[in-house]
Amino acid sequence: MQNKNDIKLEKHGAVMLLDIEGDITAFSEPFLNEAYKNANDKGAGKILLKVGNDAYINSGGIAVLIQILAQTKRNNQNIGITGLSDHFQKIFNMVGITKFATIHSTVEDALEALSAG
């Protein structure tokens, strides 16, 4: 029952958008790490993660996302997240992800905020 993620990279100025298709669980680790590495190889200064509004994100997936946040902090990169349902915005706030990543309601808002920051 391992899920896999297709992650498309789109460069918007200094912001690299990682468009994540599929659920985010512990099985997402290799896909997210590879996408983040590819984003860095392409010179990403800032990172925007876009998740599907109906994506299932469990605690294993939260742990994978926190690993990415740790890497962005080490690399002095701003990171934003968009596409989250109201429920997962609440969950991300509960676990403290919002201390390290900004949550945006749309891709456009996120790109504007990250580009300005």
Partner 1 sequence: MTINSKRAVEITLANQLGYERVAMACSASFAQLFGFPKDRIEDLKTVVGEASVNAMQHGNKGREDAKVTVSLICNEDTVTVQVMDEGRGIEAFPPAPDIEKIIEDDKLITGFGLFLMKELADNVEFNKMTDQGHIVSMTINMKAQV
Binding residues (CB under 8 A) for partner 1: these are 1-3, 25-27, 56, 58-60, 62-63, 66-67, 69-70, 73, 85-87, 90-91, 94-97, 99-100
Strand 15-21 with 6-12, pairing: antiparallel
- Give the nearest distance from C-beta 80 to partner 1 in angstroms: 16
Within 8 A by CB and 6+ apart from 28, the residues are 3, 5, 20, 22, 61, 64
Q: Which letter does DSSP use for residue 55 in this model?
A: -
- Give the nearest distance from C-beta 54 to partner 1 in angstroms: 12
Q: Which is nearer to partner 1, 2 or 76 (CB)?
A: 2
Q: Which is nearer to partner 1, 9 or 63 (CB)?
A: 63
